[in-house]
Amino acid sequence: MIREPRIAIERRLRHCKNVISLGVRTNLSDYEDWQIDLIRRSDVIYYPTSFYADIFDTMGKRTFPSYHTYKYVQDKIKQTALFNLLKIPHPKTRVFYGDFQKLKILQYFQFPFVAKIPRGSALGRGIYLIRNEDELASYNRLTRTAYIQEYLEIDRDLRVIVIRGRIIHAYWRIACPGEFRTNVSQGAAISFDNIPEEGLALAHSTARLCQMDDVGLDICFSNGRYWVLEANMKYGKEGFKQAGINFYKLFDEMIENEQI
């Protein structure tokens, strides 16, 4: 029996031998006829994009990552609401809409605190440590919706990759001296030493409860407990590279073994 070729919309698996990456076209007519035919026939579509994930779900077509995972891609506001409803430990966070609500920020938070661009930010961009009213005013000019989070004094966090209920990889991200952000893109170092089981367990349960089947969860330890900072569906590959793990070979094997 000849197996249908596996297809992806995004190019995240572009170097996988088992996958044909079609690329993102918001106009379906921009795909060639054979590509549209493949989309219609495929029993699973990898990395469908946020645009197509709900469309394929309506068609009854399975995607990887799941439709549920795509609901929370780069949306910190939705993630916070979900974490709180599920009683997942998450730093105190509040959203303020518009100029009138922003006037109340200092009623809920004391300096310093963290402010983030709530949607679409990644790689450590759009994250600010707010230490005074001038910095708060500068941040408020950047976004109509203010996403404010308590500041936890940490020098590292734990990135845990969970795929289809399995912990695939985990490592510490250690911030540069003088930098509060732990993103590798912002110069953080990677360490594989002393990975805590409690942190891994929290990441595993969070992915399960949130129905996220391809996610990099950021976990930190502060005030005597572990916290989930946020979920990343477009996590980087540097942690895999430094561990000697071939990201594309790993995914090829999971696809071949029908694990995803």
SS3 string, 10-62, reads CCCCCCCCCEEECCCCCCHHHCCHHHHHHHHHCCEEECCHHHHHHHHHHCCCE
pLDDT digits (tens, 9 = 90+) for 8-67: 999 999 999 989 999 999 899 999 999 999 999 999 999 999 999 999 999 999 999 999
What is the reported pLDDT for 27?
A: 94
Instruction: Please return the burial class of 163, using the count of CB atoms within 10 Å of its CB with bins 0-12, 13-18 and 19+.
Output: buried
Q: Where are the domains of the chain?
A: 6-64, 92-150, 156-256
In the numeric block, the tokens 């795929």 are attached to 163
What is the reported pLDDT for 1?
A: 42
Is the four-CA dihedral 204, 208, 212, 213 of positive or negative sign? positive
Pick the CATH number of 156-256 from 3.40.640.10, 3.30.470.20, 3.40.190.10, 3.30.70.1150: 3.30.470.20
Quote the strand ranges of the chain, DSSP E: 6-8, 19-21, 44-46, 62-64, 93-97, 113-116, 127-130, 145-150, 156-163, 166-174, 189-191, 214-222, 225-232
CATH of domain 92-150: 3.30.1490.20
pTM: 0.94
**How many C-beta atoms lie closer than 10 Å to residue 29's C-beta?**
7
pLDDT digits (tens, 9 = 90+) for 191-206: 999 999 999 999 999 9
pLDDT digits (tens, 9 = 90+) for 42-51: 999 999 999 9
What is the reported pLDDT for 122?
A: 62
Pairwise CA distance, residues 13 & 105, whole Å:
42
User: What is the pLDDT tens value at each position of the chain, 260 positions in all?
Assistant: 446 789 999 999 999 998 999 999 989 999 999 999 999 999 999 999 999 999 999 999 999 999 999 999 889 999 999 999 999 999 999 999 999 999 999 999 999 999 999 987 666 579 999 999 999 999 999 999 999 999 999 999 999 999 999 999 999 999 999 899 998 988 899 999 999 999 999 999 999 999 999 999 999 999 999 999 999 999 999 999 999 999 999 999 999 999 99
Q: Write phi, then psi, for 79 (nearest 5 degrees).
A: -60, -45
Is the four-CA dihedral 148, 188, 193, 211 of positive or negative sign? positive
In the numeric block, the tokens 């500068």 are attached to 138
What is the reported pLDDT for 123?
A: 60
User: What six digits make up the tokens of 115?
Assistant: 């402010």
